[in-house]
Amino acid sequence: MTTAKHYLSLVKFSHTIFAMPFAFIGFFLGIKHEQQMLQNVHSSPWYVVYWPSLAGVLVCMITARNAAMAYNRYLDRHFDALNPRTAIREIPQGIISPQKALRFVIVNCLVFITATFFINRICFYLSPVALFVILFYSYTKRFTALCHLVLGIGLSLAPIGAFLAVTGAFHTLPILFSLSVVFWVSGFDIIFALQDVAFDTEQQLYSIPSVLGKTKGLQVSKLLHLASAAFVVAAGFLGSFHVFYWIGVSIFCGMLVYQHSIVKPTDLSRVNIAFMTANGIASVVFGAFTIADILAASIVFT
């Protein structure tokens, strides 16, 4: 019998750690923006006023990611069965059937769209666009080495989407955070793809390392991470953040430098440390310090 544990493993639920902190950043930026626009007319605490939006953001984040990951596993099941690194995954092992995985995708998509309906009109109207982006990623490795950027775009919807859930409007600041996510995620996905260069080449799958080679692939990853750092710095100046934010930026950038210091074209033994540990720390710590900076400004709670 398939258990919840198997489905959590199927979608690598622990990897939610990458985008979720940026969703919270977008959420609290939205509250800050609303409080400024409304001149703090709410007499109740923020968590009373905005908890439905927060619940909606959490449901959308979880279901969108579940759908994207499960669909990727469903679509790539034949490649996964051939790759020694991925042959242990749930579908190739027969733990979860392809039909059950596809049903899981459909259910999560429906819950996602339903949740956006109860958030606000713009989120509901844009929900098919968001689903298209995150599901389309699974096809990209078949025809373009820019698949890493498409993955980054998918995860970058987190801060913009959370901001929209609160405000119902676009704003430059969350867009800067989303651009940072695009280049951050695509950069570390290139590092992760180093493990499958030989397999991707054999199966005629595309990735930057398989097309350019490991050395040049890492160079592209460094440039993308440099761009990511530039956008968090730009967001810091545009948003007039204070000391907590800049501490978070320092740690975030430090983790970017660290992962490139431990992964070499000739030594991939620490790719998983770079992928999961360094980027998990970067996301959580940066998110925590950014939110602390927003709250410390005494705007949300006034």
Confirm whether 209 is domain-assigned: yes
Residues in the chain: 302
Confirm whether 1 is domain-assigned: no
Question: What is the Cα–Cα distance from 203 to 147, expressed in whole angstroms?
Answer: 16
Confirm whether 61 is domain-assigned: yes
With 60 as the cut, is the pLDDT of residue 142 above it?
A: yes
Confirm whether 202 is domain-assigned: yes
Two tokens, residue 92 = 């190739």
Confirm whether 71 is domain-assigned: yes
With 80 as the cut, is the pLDDT of residue 160 above it?
A: yes
Supply the DSSP symbol for 264: B
Q: Domain range holding 265?
A: 9-26+41-296
Supply the DSSP symbol for 299: S
Interval 17-36 mean pLDDT:
91
Greatest C-alpha distance within the chain: 63
- How many structural domains are present in the chain? 1
Higher pLDDT, 165 or 33: 165
- Cβ atoms within 10 Å of 301's Cβ, excluding its own: 13
The closest of 151, 160, 109 to 279, measured between CA atoms, is 151
Beta carbons of 260 and 194 less than 8 angstroms apart: no
Sequence letter at residue 100: K
Sequential DSSP letters for 268-295: -TTHHIIIIIIHHHHHHHHHHHHHHHHH
The pLDDT-based confidence of 131 (bands split at 50, 70, 90) is: very high
pLDDT (tens digit, 9 = 90+) per residue, 267-276? 988 998 888 8
Beta carbons of 228 and 180 less than 8 angstroms apart: yes
Confirm whether 157 is domain-assigned: yes
pLDDT (tens digit, 9 = 90+) per residue, 176-234? 999 999 999 999 999 999 999 999 999 999 999 999 999 999 999 999 999 999 999 99
pLDDT (tens digit, 9 = 90+) per residue, 90-109? 999 999 999 999 999 999 99
The domain that contains 217 carries what CATH number?
1.10.357.140
pLDDT at 301: 46
Mean pLDDT of the chain: 92
pLDDT (tens digit, 9 = 90+) per residue, 224-258? 999 999 999 999 999 999 999 999 999 999 999 99
| Residue 56, helix vs strand vs coil | helix
Beta carbons of 300 and 32 less than 8 angstroms apart: yes
Please tell me whether the overall predicted TM-score, pTM, comes out greater than 0.95 for this model. Answer: no
Confirm whether 256 is domain-assigned: yes
Question: What is the Cα–Cα distance from 294 to 201, expressed in whole angstroms?
Answer: 46
Confirm whether 153 is domain-assigned: yes
Question: What is the Cα–Cα distance from 96 to 138, expressed in whole angstroms?
Answer: 19
